[in-house]
Structures are given as C-alpha cells and as structure tokens.
Amino acid sequence: MIISVLNQKGGCGKTTIAVNLAALWHDQGRQTLLMDADPQRSASRWAEQGNQGGFPFPVHSLDMTLGARKVKAEIQAVVGGREMVVIDCPPELREPAMLASLLSDLVVVPVTPSPLDIWAAEAATGLAQDARELNTQGRPRVLLVPSKTHPQTLLTRDLGKALTALGEEVSPVGISQRVALAECVIQGQTINQYAPNSPACEELTRLSHHILTLLGG
C-alpha cells in the first residue's frame, strides 16, 4: 500500500505525520519504507539527528522530478516485499505531487485549523481527485486529517465541518498540537520511541489503525 502525505501548505505537519505513521506501522510488525520526496530532506535529516544511527525502518530519498517511469522503477527497486510505503511530499502541488497521487492508494492531507489552510486543503484535495479521475480503480482515496489542533478552540471545532464540505473522508482522529512531537525530532526519534505513553503517540496510533481499516488491511 502506498500512502502519500501531501499538502502545498508549508509546515502543516506532513513530515511529522508521515514519519510517525511509518514508525507506528513498523512497530506493529508491518514492513515499512519511508520515501522522502522533499528536496528539503526533512524526514532524512530527522533520521540523522541524535546518535541512534537512523530510524528502525528505512528512509529512501526519492527525486519525484525524474518523471513517472523513473520514479516508478525506483520505487519498485527499493520496495522489496514491504507492505507499507509512505511518501512524504514537498509543500507544492506541481508534477511531483500529481505523480505521488497517481501512484498512491491513499493521499493523506494534513490540515491545520485556519481558514487559509482549509483553502489550501481544497487545492490539495482537488489534485488528488484529478489523479483519481485519471486512474481506473478509484484510487487514490483521500483522507483529510486535522493537524496541529488546539482542542478547546472554536477554529478546531469548525474544522471538521469545513473539511466535510470538501466531499472526501475526514479522519475522526486529529493530531493535536503537542510539544513532544516537536521535541522528538531533536533526538532523532519517532514519537513511539521518544514518548510511547504520550497523548501524541496515542493519537498517531489511532490514526495508523484508522488508515489500515480504511484500506482494508
């Protein structure tokens, strides 16, 4: 299964969600590979932090500008028998994002609770819908995931309603703004390594389960 985490909005939580989903699926015994498709190399640099020698699952750099045939061949060459492939996309909606969408079973769109970000999510959703139009088997599905939310605020409460209006599935599990999710990066750790009993880890675990249920796995 290929899951792309995509949104042109910078800093909405793509890398945080991509890395931790990969980490949790790995922890749940699923062979997982993280593809870092962002020239910023955020996921790769995160893995290089600290003195652990990387994440316990592979992170592979993927140059999405090489075009469909080469990217597809590269994924096939590195995927081996792995069950879960997570692609962390750059903050843009150009050809690489379309290519990632075309290759994916699911496009995860993290959305922060602000009207500006909901407009951005509409464009990201539209791109994934265009990819689905071009594909033949109803793929990719889209999952809109509330990200960096503050549970007590009106904006967060309204987010679900605004996302539902985009006509795609809205995750019942949102990822709250939690300091542990920023701190674990400094240590080069994923949330299940850094704070396994934290509410942040619990939310991401629930999201990982929800996605597997959605994809029938």
Give the one entry of Mg ion, ligand ATP, none that residue 182 binds, where binding means its C-beta sits below a cut-off of 5 to 8 angstroms depending on kind: ligand ATP
Per DSSP, the three-state class of 185 is helix
Cα–Cα dist 217/209, whole Å: 9
- Site residues for ligand ATP per CB under 6 A: 10-16, 38, 40, 42, 91, 148, 175, 177-178, 181-182, 185
Cα–Cα dist 155/114, whole Å: 7
Give the one entry of Mg ion, ligand ATP, none that residue 132 binds, where binding means its C-beta sits below a cut-off of 5 to 8 angstroms depending on kind: none
Beta bridge partners of 142: 107
Nearest to Mg ion of 14, 148 (CB atom)? 14
Per DSSP, the three-state class of 70 is helix
42 binds Mg ion (CB under 5 A): yes
Cβ at position 15, least distance to ligand ATP in Å:
3
Give the one entry of Mg ion, ligand ATP, none that residue 156 binds, where binding means its C-beta sits below a cut-off of 5 to 8 angstroms depending on kind: none
Cβ at position 137, least distance to ligand ATP in Å:
28
Give the one entry of ligand ATP, Mg ion, none that residue 186 binds, where binding means its C-beta sits below a cut-off of 5 to 8 angstroms depending on kind: none
Count of residues engaged in binding Mg ion, rule: CB under 5 A: 3
Nearest to Mg ion of 64, 132 (CB atom)? 64
Nearest to ligand ATP of 73, 186 (CB atom)? 186
Which residues neighbour 43 within 8 Å (Cβ) at sequence distance 6 or greater? 15, 18, 19, 34, 36, 59, 88
Which residues neighbour 73 within 8 Å (Cβ) at sequence distance 6 or greater? none
Nearest to ligand ATP of 31, 210 (CB atom)? 210
Nearest to ligand ATP of 21, 85 (CB atom)? 21
Q: What angle do CA 170, 175, 176 make, to 5 degrees?
A: 130
Give the Å distances, CA to CA, from 159 to 9, 82, 185.
Answer: 16, 34, 27
Member of 15, 44, 190, 205 binding Mg ion (CB under 5 A): 15
141 binds Mg ion (CB under 5 A): no
Residue of 56, 67, 92, 6 whose CA lies nearest to 188 = 56
14 binds Mg ion (CB under 5 A): yes
Nearest to ligand ATP of 129, 177 (CB atom)? 177
Q: What angle do CA 169, 172, 173 make, to 5 degrees?
A: 120
The contact set with Mg ion (CB under 5 A) reads 14-15, 42
